[in-house]
Amino acid sequence: MSTAEHAETNRRDFLYIATGAVGAVGAALTAWPFINQMNPDASVLALASVEVDLAPIAEGQEITIKWRGNPVFVRHRLAAEIEAAKAVPMSDLIDPLARNANLPDGDQATDVNRVVGGKEQFLVMMGVCTHLGCVPLPNQGDYAVVEGSEKHGGWFCPCHGSHYDTAGRIRKGPAPQNLAIPQYSYLSDAKIRIG
């Protein structure tokens, strides 16, 4: 192979590589608007966190808010609900894990590990059954506290019969896990931010 042929080959290889590189950059720049439009818009990003005022929630009352398209239960528990949850031996639980996004993954599902900041009167958890994603009904099920003729705390998913106790832990039925606790923090004694 002569020097002229070798130079021609190198120049041709360079032109092929340069053309391919320019084509790849052009394809990426052309595709970018289509890829970028798949990012969440401002309205979705605004739902990334939500603040909840706890002051109007009376003892024994529960509210449901929407966060990231899912229901979140915020319950002001009665003392009887807290005591019932604390009295449950860990060996009685189907799911021994806290499932609390505010704690390390392996923490036990004690009542204290199901709340944040030691404020045991407020239980904040995702309102989505861990079996098939239904929404459990509050103040129902075999593990609600009965005072007089009323049930307090506890959740029941009528779709397939999952029963959750007063700390949102699965106790009976096909659901494999406790109701998840989202990441949240206290902004003050009467206000939280979820997310």
Structure tokens given for 185? 């923090």
Q: What is the three-class DSSP state of 56?
A: coil
Active site residues: 160
The answer to whether the CB of 144 falls within 8 A of the CB of 133 is no
DSSP state of 168: S
Those residues with Cβ within 8 angstroms of residue 139's Cβ, 6 or more apart along the chain or in another chain? 62, 150, 151, 152, 153, 154
Rounded CA separation 175/133 (Å): 10
